[in-house]
Amino acid sequence: MKMYEEATVVSVKEIAPLIFDMTVSAKSAKEAVPGQFAMIYPKNPSTLLPRPISICEKSDDELRFVFRIAGKGTKEFSTYKKGDLVRILAPLGNGYDINALKGKKVIVTGGGIGIPPMLELLKTLKANGTEVLGIFGYRDSVLFLKEDFEKFGKVYIATEDGSVGTKGNVLDAVKEHDIDFDVICACGPMPMLKAVKNFAGEKGKDAYISLEERMACGVGACLGCVCKTVKKDVHSHVNNARVCTEGPVFDAREVEI
């Protein structure tokens, strides 16, 4: 169940250029599942809206966020020190269905700032006895979180410039290594998610994708993060769903992207 709370900053560090790793102590951590996110509220009154940031890792009493500085809000978060208080609303969204993935061969894949939320998913699936591996796409040789992922399973890398691993995107790595799978779980930029949806469809495989959208409230009230769906919503009777509540994780067959 989601809750507002004043979380306490445990640590903040820069792990790559403009990429920061922040851990907070939070009661809401106990309820979080892989694929969910939090709304984090800046203290600066001129920064009106909270920022949605995916949960990278969790324990019973801590949440870990890895984010890129993209504006005033995330810039502020990067300056926090141990002991600072930060207001959060968490956990939000639906997350991945871990039980539905059990007994299947699963590829966990992420691109860019869509990589961090896949760490908790890979870790949880591994602990659940699921056959899983990770494939992650980076722009260049700055491979943030790579060592974290390698603690929990086999990892393949794709880079746009070819400096590490497969030259190209995550699907190029799947093809290069001839990886067999039943399901792909993906988070990343929209072109990547479109490609994953199409690739899984061509192979007759399942794909679950986590959509990245701008959000103002995170609780479904503002309708600012609506995506187009194949089926009509039972309440509004239109082909829309709210990414913050019905998502961010969707069966790729159910969304039009």
Domain carrying residue 254: 214-257
Please give the pLDDT value at position 91. 97
Q: Are 21 and 88 members of one domain?
A: yes
- pTM above 0.85? yes
Cβ(183)–Cβ(101) under 8 Å? yes
Q: Are 82 and 14 members of one domain?
A: yes
Question: At a CB cut-off of 8 Å and minimum separation 6, what does 162 contact?
Answer: 168
| CA nearest to 22, candidates 72, 89, 85 | 85
Q: Are 164 and 219 members of one domain?
A: no
What count of other Cβ atoms lies within 10 Å of the Cβ of residue 61?
13
Q: Are 119 and 161 members of one domain?
A: yes
Q: Are strands 105-111 and 183-187 parallel, antiparallel or unpaired?
A: parallel
Which CATH number do you get for residue 242?
Answer: 2.10.240.10
pLDDT-wise least confident of 53-57, 68-72, 97-101, 243-247: 243-247
Which CATH number do you get for residue 65?
Answer: 2.40.30.10
Cβ(187)–Cβ(181) under 8 Å? no
- pLDDT, tens digit, 9 for 90 and up, residues 152-169: 989 999 999 999 999 999
Please give the pLDDT value at position 75. 97
Please give the pLDDT value at position 235. 64
Q: What type of residue is 168?
A: G
Cβ(257)–Cβ(103) under 8 Å? no
Q: Is the pLDDT of residue 238 over 80?
A: no
Q: Are 80 and 19 members of one domain?
A: yes
- Percentage of the residues of the chain whose pLDDT score is greater than 90: 82
Q: Is residue 14 classed as helix, strand or coil in its secondary structure?
A: strand
Q: Are strands 166-167 and 19-25 parallel, antiparallel or unpaired?
A: unpaired
Average pLDDT over residues 183-194: 96
Q: Are 21 and 62 members of one domain?
A: yes
- pLDDT, tens digit, 9 for 90 and up, residues 37-46: 999 999 998 8
Report d(CA 187, CA 121) in Å as an integer: 11
Q: Are 123 and 46 members of one domain?
A: no
Average pLDDT over residues 101-121: 97
Q: Are 126 and 65 members of one domain?
A: no
Q: Are 113 and 137 members of one domain?
A: yes
Reading across the β-sheet that carries 249-251, which strands appear in turn?
Answer: 166-167, 155-159, 131-138, 105-111, 183-187, 206-210, 249-251
Which CATH number do you get for residue 112?
Answer: 3.40.50.80
Average pLDDT over residues 193-199: 97
Report d(CA 59, CA 68) in Å as an integer: 22
Q: Are 184 and 131 members of one domain?
A: yes
Confidence class of residue 32 from pLDDT cuts 50, 70 and 90?
Answer: very high
CA 3 vs CA 54, 75, 244: distances in Å: 16, 24, 15
Structural tokens at position 29: 């951590």
Average pLDDT over residues 81-105: 96
Cβ(137)–Cβ(118) under 8 Å? no
Q: Count structural domains, the chain.
A: 3
